A and B are shown apart, each in its own frame.
Chain A
Amino acid sequence: MATLTNRAKVLEQKPMSFIERLYLPAILKGMGITLKHMFQKKATIHYPEEKRPFSPVFRGLHVLNRDEEGRENCTACGLCAVACPAEAITMEAAERLPNEEHLYREEKYAAKYEINMLRCIFCGLCEEACPKDAIYLSETFAPSNFTRKGFIYSKEELLIPNPVTSKESFEAAKGQREQQLKNK
């Protein structure tokens, strides 16, 4: 019969030879293979003690940024909400009062800022759209929750810790990538 491709192989089904029928050489060979695997490097890592690093382009949970004095960057311009293909972001703007200069960097700020993490596809377009460097995607992911409501993150949950009052948690929230960028 003509073969369709030149890769076809004729299957030979000869009766087993005496050595093959003994099975013992094959068993010993198999035992050699399992013994070899005993000493090979394991693919598993000790998870809670040891974690795999995220890739440098990993896009995780959103963070609302502050400047060095601890003032919120966001001006509630709404560009992130417009850019968002999943329509996960909603916000309400408010005007800064005269005694609130230490809280907000510019005259307008977001009174309410919500991201629905169930809608979000973590594409990072909001980060690209933001003209004020106010939102960026961090190196963590949204933890599990019992209710759908729990996945709608409010402004308080998204805001980065204040660099003036709690510097260490601010650095931790910034993540290692920021650190590496700074070192370069």
Chain B
Amino acid sequence: MEMLAIDLSLGLEKLLLIGGIISFSLLVAMYTTYGERKIAAWMQDRRGPNRAGPFGLLQPAADGLKLFFKEEIIPLTSNRMLFVLGPALAMITAMLTSAVIPWGPTIEVFGRQVSLQIADVNIGILYVFGVVSMGVYGIMIGGWASNNKFSLMAAVRGASQIISYELAMGLSLIALLMLTGTLSLKSIVEQQMTGGWNIIYQPLGFLIFLICVFAECNRTPFDLPEAENELNFGYHQEYSSMKLGLYLFAEYVNMFISSAVVATLFFGGYDIPFVDEAALAANIGVNAVAALGFAALFSKILFFLFLFIWVRWTIPRFRYDQLMDLGWKKLIPLALANMLITAVVVLWLNK
């Protein structure tokens, strides 16, 4: 009976955490669309949305409502089940990664130790890779089920792009794993809190990883699956109403989660820079430090979201052959070299 009570509260705690993180990521994704439009406008010497609410803050809500009220069209010749499955899968895979990210240090609620990580899987990074590779199914199924040539071409492009860049992404992370010696994201963060951020030891690995993250999120300069001038609208051309909204929204959720992964792997996660958390916790309490840690993580995430947007409004899109050239002939050899050098250094230091 005692066991059951603990399990119930554990279940409740996890359920609350899952609900909180999902609604938080959706909210952040919503306001990333606003931020994107605002920053794009500023970079082009415009003002951006400023009519709905103060500073246009209600704009994302208006956009969402508009999408909900639109007529929903399912093409007659499409594969109905797959057509509905596509956007759902895109959204689910975008959200799944958030399960293994440590959003903050352990907090204390009513005398219980509550971890701010939904699941501390000891193969966290592998899980991230698995889920990210599944993201291609959302695009592929959507493009295939639309029964439209442009959609299919875009889906094929997206699939080949994501698979190509996943290789370099994995290789760049292997070098990182040699240093940390663990696959659990929580222990990676804890190592960085004492030993300094991984960006110091792996600058090249970080650069390769960042480029691959841009490619995985289908963001400019790698947004070939949505190249408007070549493919009309890309893989979501036949979609309308909230199904289209889910695809567009999944992109922003993806951006948010990817930023969180980059911040966790290379920028110390919830580590507050230049501050000894243990000493601070003795002074102001565990929960306050956890809040500060989450704020640190969130500001790192916000920086990367800004970087995503910044790059998008600076760099034009790659040509398809340039994309493949960069992925296979530049990034993979670079990542391999980085891996070898790291391995040699690690062996040399251990001797």
Write the residues of chain A forming the contact surface with B, with a CB cutoff of 8 angstroms.
27, 30-31, 33-35, 37-40, 42-44, 46
Closest residue on chain B to residue A26 by CB atoms: B315
Q: A27-B314, A27-B315 are in contact. Are A34 and B46 (CB under 8 A)?
A: no
Q: A30-B315, A46-B50 are in contact. Are A37 and B45 (CB under 8 A)?
A: yes
Main secondary structure of the interface of B (DSSP, over half): loop
Q: A34-B310, A35-B310, A38-B39 are in contact. Are A44 and B47 (CB under 8 A)?
A: yes
Contact B45 A40 (CB under 8 A): yes
Question: Can you give 21 contacting A-B residue pairs, CB < 8 Å?
Answer: A27-B311, A27-B314, A30-B314, A30-B315, A31-B310, A31-B314, A33-B314, A34-B43, A34-B313, A34-B314, A35-B43, A35-B310, A38-B42, A38-B43, A40-B45, A42-B42, A42-B46, A42-B47, A44-B46, A44-B47, A46-B50
Report, as a range, how many residues of chain B touch the other chain.
10 to 19
* A43 / chain B contacts, CB cutoff of 8 Å: 45
Q: Does B44 contact A (CB under 8 A)?
A: yes
Min CB distance, A38 to chain B, in Å?
4
Min CB distance, B97 to chain A, in Å?
27
How many A-B pairs fall under 8 Å by CB? Answer: 33
B residues 48-63 in Cβ contact with A at 8 Å:
50
* A37 / chain B contacts, CB cutoff of 8 Å: 42-45
Write the residues of chain B forming the contact surface with A, with a CB cutoff of 8 angstroms.
39, 42-47, 50, 310-311, 313-315
Main secondary structure of the interface of A (DSSP, over half): helix
Bound CA span A38–B39, Å: 7
* B45 / chain A contacts, CB cutoff of 8 Å: 37, 40, 42-43
Bound CA span A42–B45, Å: 5
* B47 / chain A contacts, CB cutoff of 8 Å: 42, 44, 46
* B310 / chain A contacts, CB cutoff of 8 Å: 31, 34-35
Min CB distance, B287 to chain A, in Å?
37
* A34 / chain B contacts, CB cutoff of 8 Å: 43, 310, 313-314
Most buried by A among B43, B44, B313: B43
Bound CA span A35–B45, Å: 11
Most buried by B among A30, A34, A35, A43: A34
